Structure 1
Amino acid sequence: MSTLDSSMVNIALPFIMKDFHSSLADTQWVVLIYLLTITATLLFWGHLADRLGRGRIYTSGLLIFALGSLACAWAPGLAFLVAARFSQALGGAMMMAAGPAIIKDAFPREQLGRGLGLIGMAVSLGLMSGPSLGGLLLELASWRVLFLLTVPLGLLFAFFAIRVLPGPTRHYTGPLDWLGSLAWAAALVLLCLTLSQVSAPSWSATGLLLTGGGGAAALACFIAIEARQPHPLLVLKLFRNRHFSLAIVSAVLSFTVLFGVILLIPFHLDRVLGLPPSQIGLVMLAIPSSILVVSPLAGWLSDQVGARFISTLGLGVSTLGVFLLSTIQAATPPSMIAGQLLLVGLGQALFLSPNSASVLSHVEADKAGAAAALLATARNLGMLLGIAQAALIFSLFFRGLTNGLDLRDFRPEHTAAFLTALHGALLGAALTGLLGTAASWFRGKAENGN
């Protein structure tokens, strides 16, 4: 449900921008606030799930998400929509933190890759149906209907979760790390504001120094707190394991690559090619459809061959797809763009399940919730960085080539500037993908030989 909503919202961004006549720097906050909230709170919810019961946190998340979706549909302006997305994200974070740990409880270790492959398939179902369904609803109605769709789904899934999931099991009873949670959230908010300021039409050096310096200080405080905390939010000693730490790093970089593509390609399809919403949805469908088909196979291959080779191959293939996208022109047909997106999705599918199994196989049972939350945090941090990086590079190029204009002011004569900005942003994503591929390979072999 969460991925269905996210994939529909990504398609809707160009139309939300038109409806509120907002800049790219402002409109990106519809996505950024969601990712920022999830990334800032996932570790907290993971630890709380270990204490109060994973099923209880998961079910509560479904209900909060549904209420947030209803508020999004009623948003009278962009600021209200961003605030509603914050409440929606709280529910999404609770589901993401508890879900993989529930799977870990249900599957034996030797079948964990398959279990996580099923999660990947379920996630991809939401991702696959989102672009096509969202495009159709945008063409027939309004972007507000996209949010209304997830309200009954959330209530229905919560009903089944209450009936099916086992009762509360307290895997861990230590105190919560409130101070660490606040420091982590402050660091993310301030650093995200720094990146957002640079991509805005006007910014000041003083503002950048304040937010950037404050974010760096908050991050340093977070690390210092966690190093001394007897029951830390982030178990730093896990990162002494090179396999674990580089798997987390490659997860961050993988999603940085993916979400740069997801942010910008719909704008190209809308502004440059002039496609209707339904066709934009069909083109973007290429990524989740390939994930849907390949995810179960990737989980099986992970159990048979090992995570290192499959994950590295996948991220390399995805990076190649992004590089090919960085060469598209105004005359490039949508079918060719869809083929390149298919390559991106294929690589992501090969990467996701094996890398997740690699992370979770290196933690004890009582830390499964915290590790699952850390993995989800890494992914969402990558999404956050991907959106911010793509918007920053694109805006700097586009404003520089159009005497300070924003994307909302796009006209046909700005096509060349748009393409140059798009190419620059996608090349930046491809470079990030190369770094992630290297991190995935240099994790080394696991102790069991995989």
Structure 2
Amino acid sequence: MKSKRITALLTIALFTFMTSLDSSIVNIATPIMAREMNVSSSTIEWVISIYLMIISALIMFFGRLGDIVGKVKIFKIGTLIFTIGSLVAGIKINFSFLLFGRAIQALGAAMTMSNNFGITTEMFPLKERGRALAILATFFALGSIAGPSLGGLILTTGSWSYIFWINVPIGIVAILVGNTSLPKDSLKNTNEKLDWYGTTIFAAFIAFFFYALMQGQTQGYANPIILTTLVIAIALLIAFVIIECHVKLPMLNFKIFNNANFTMGVVSALLAFIVGYFFSILIPYYLVNARNYNASFAGILLAIIPLTIAFFGPIGGTLADKFGGEKISIIGLASLIIAQILILNFNLHSPLGLFIVASFFYGIGMGLFQSPNNSVIMSSVDKKFLGIAGSVNSLARNFGMELGVSLSTIILYSSMSLRKGKSITTYPVGQNQLFMFGLHTAFIFALIFAVIAEIITITRFIKNYKNK
């Protein structure tokens, strides 16, 4: 790898880390935010959800736009917008202004996430591409899991504003370095048209679908408004598929899903990030509320997973090059399954050793799965599909994160409400055993998702082995 390409890769990796980090870094601060802004636990989850919703809604659009006007150009603009959004989000005015700042962050993050894998794929020759993509995937996985631990450490020295403001100086440095190291875009066909209908309908689907999931926690899923919103979301999704199958230049070319290796890899990634976000969302409440650990100590405990991912992620990429991505992905998901089983044994008096071991298996699982699976996904498609493949891959991860946020809290609060016989939409203070019941119920579902991902990955391996 030439030094300029390495510098460019590190710039892309740094923004990949920061944008994925900001999907989870606020998790440990949400109890504090909710208290300061006088909103419920379910309401404060919008700080996380609005970020992931906007990214999911726009990531394919900006991937397509990058193919038309230049991936590097869109990436650079995105870095600037994300840095500005980080500054705005940290300014304490009110809850609405915080959501406004998060929306700006998400806009910039969608622009960078949609083009980072495409830029990297074009920047490196085939013999170096797998290692470069593995590094990028590791930074993404590391950022998505490191949030609670880093957020806890930041909260020990300052207010939650610094969770966002830490991005500003790092972002400025990365922007300056990127301007000199990132390659120039090749000439593009700017006469190509964007799929505005598909973009608008898909964004509306994301908004209606996740609004229904989030608001259903407080209003109830039998509420006519919630049911109507879900029906509209389903209708929008059907309309999106129909439009994309008939327009000349679709935002999402569904032919890419004819590739079984690509489709299985994307679905497995979606499920793995759902599982990862069950941990990121619920475990901070277990440590801070149920176990009464302070934020700094909880942050140290939560650092185990990102540190493990940082160690095993590159190892996963190297092992994938040597033994094949399918095999290493299977091992990674097996470790993730073990972690879910261990978490199901958590109680209010569990020894720290159990938490540490579970976190260790979690980190190994995510580290050994993400990079090899990503390599299989990106290596399985033709060059003409690389741009959309990168966008769909990123969408699957972000959609998985958003589903993880929504499903984990839905299952947690619904199971506690059923157990108690009344609606519960926030942490049940003084009823830690009730919370543990909800936590165990949620992680039973996480275990199911992990097992399904493993079955899909094993099926992919068997299919490819027979074909060989």
What residue is the counterpart of 1:76 in the other structure? Answer: 93
Of 440, 443, 455, 1:438 maps to: 455
Which whole-Å CA distance do the structure 2 matches of 1:448 and 1:105 have between them?
A: 31
User: In 2 relative to 1, CA 296–86 (structure 1 residues): closer, same or farther, beyond 3 Å?
Assistant: same
Distance in 1 between the 2:90 and 2:189 partners? 38
TM-score (norm 1): 0.94
Q: How far apart in 2 are the matches of 1:197 and 1:320? A: 33
Instruction: Pick which of 127-136 and 74-83 moved more.
Output: 127-136
| 1:1-400 aligned within 5 A | 1-123=18-140, 126=143, 130-170=147-187, 174-200=192-218, 202=220, 204-400=222-418
- Runs of 5+ unmatched residues, structure 2: 1-17
CA distance, structure 2, for counterparts of residue 23 and residue 396 of structure 1: 15
Q: What are the within-5 Å matches in structure 2 for residues 394-433 of structure 1?
A: 394-404=412-422, 406=424, 408=426, 410-412=428-430, 414-433=431-450
TM norm structure 2 = 0.91
CA distances 1:249-286 after superposition (whole Å, capped 9, x unpaired)? 11111101110111000011010111111111111112
Q: Distance in 2 between matches of 1:404 and 1:87?
A: 37
**Cα shift readout 1:33-87 (whole Å, capped 9, x = no counterpart):** 1111111111111111111212111111111011111111114222221222111
Q: What secondary structure does 1:268 align onto?
A: helix
Could you tell me how far apart the structure 1 residues matched to 2:146 and 2:344 are? 26
Cα root mean square deviation, aligned: 2.1
Equivalent pair of 1:271/1:410 in contact (CA under 8 Å): no
Structure 1 residue ranges without an equivalent (≥5): none
Identity %: 31
Partner Cα distance (1:448, 1:371) in 2: 25
Which amino acid letter does the alignment assign opposite residue 370 of structure 2? L
Match of 2:23, SS state, is helix
Q: CA separation of 1:187/1:124 partners in 2, compared to 1, >3 Å: closer, same or farther?
A: closer
Amino acid at match of 1:242: A
C-alpha spacing 1:383/1:130, structure 2 compared with 1 (3 Å): closer
Question: Contact conserved, 2:72 with 2:184, CA < 8 A, in 1?
Answer: yes
Kept in 2: contact 1:21–1:408 (CA 8 A): no
**CA-to-aligned-CA distance 1:389-448 (integer Å, 9 cap, x gap):** 100000112223345364646322x01100000100111111111111111222245599
Counterparts in 2 of 1:133 and 1:194: CA distance versus 1, 3 Å:
closer
On the 8 A contact 1:183/1:221 being kept in 2, the answer is: yes
The AA in structure 1 aligned to 2:281 is L
Deviation at residue 27 of structure 1 after TM alignment: 1.3
Note the C-alpha offset of 1:247: 0.9
Does the 8 Å CA contact 2:217/2:410 hold for their aligned counterparts? yes
The number of residues matched between the two structures is 449
Q: Which has the higher contact order (CA 8 A, sep 6+)?
A: 1
> Mean Cα displacement is larger for which, 182-191 or 71-80?
71-80
SS of 2:422's equivalent?
Answer: coil
